[in-house]
Amino acid sequence: MMGGKSSTIAAGVCGALFVGYCIYFDRKRRSDPNFKNRLREREKVCVVELLQLPDLKDAEAVQKFFLEEIQLGEELLAQGDYENGIEHLTNAIAVCGQPQQLLQVLQQTLPPPVFQMLLTKLPTISQYTSFQTVSNNLN
């Protein structure tokens, strides 16, 4: 009976120490003068990566981009670089004329966790391509 109570108290103390450390680390990180600058730099890198999509009106450029992104994505996934591989596959889906069919093929060929990563990435790129399509139609 005492052993169970002691382990519960020990677990509670360890949990409290962990939460305390997380709060301390977060505060220290946020008080760093370069923290906001690093966040802004990361945001700029993400925006620059999104801006590398081809002009959607140029079919040849879109096809070339699509094939390059598929190939690069497959190579990176084969090397175990899932994050970058998914990024390139997402870019290919964004410019694909039949994204549902491509997603079905990818669902059959990719391991389920990798396909799930791909699905979580899709809303970000689709928002950008919708914006790009609207802005191209205005020109």
In the predicted structure, residue 108 carries a pLDDT above the cut 90: yes
- Express each pLDDT in 6-54 by its tens digit: 888 988 888 888 888 888 878 877 787 787 777 777 766 665 455 567 8
* Band of pLDDT at residue 70, cut at 50, 70 and 90: very high
Question: Quick one: average pLDDT of 109-136?
Answer: 70
In the predicted structure, residue 127 carries a pLDDT above the cut 70: no
* Band of pLDDT at residue 137, cut at 50, 70 and 90: very low
Between the alpha carbon of residue 44 and those of residues 10, 39, 53, 92, 97, the distances in Å are: 45, 9, 16, 21, 28
Average pLDDT, the chain: 79
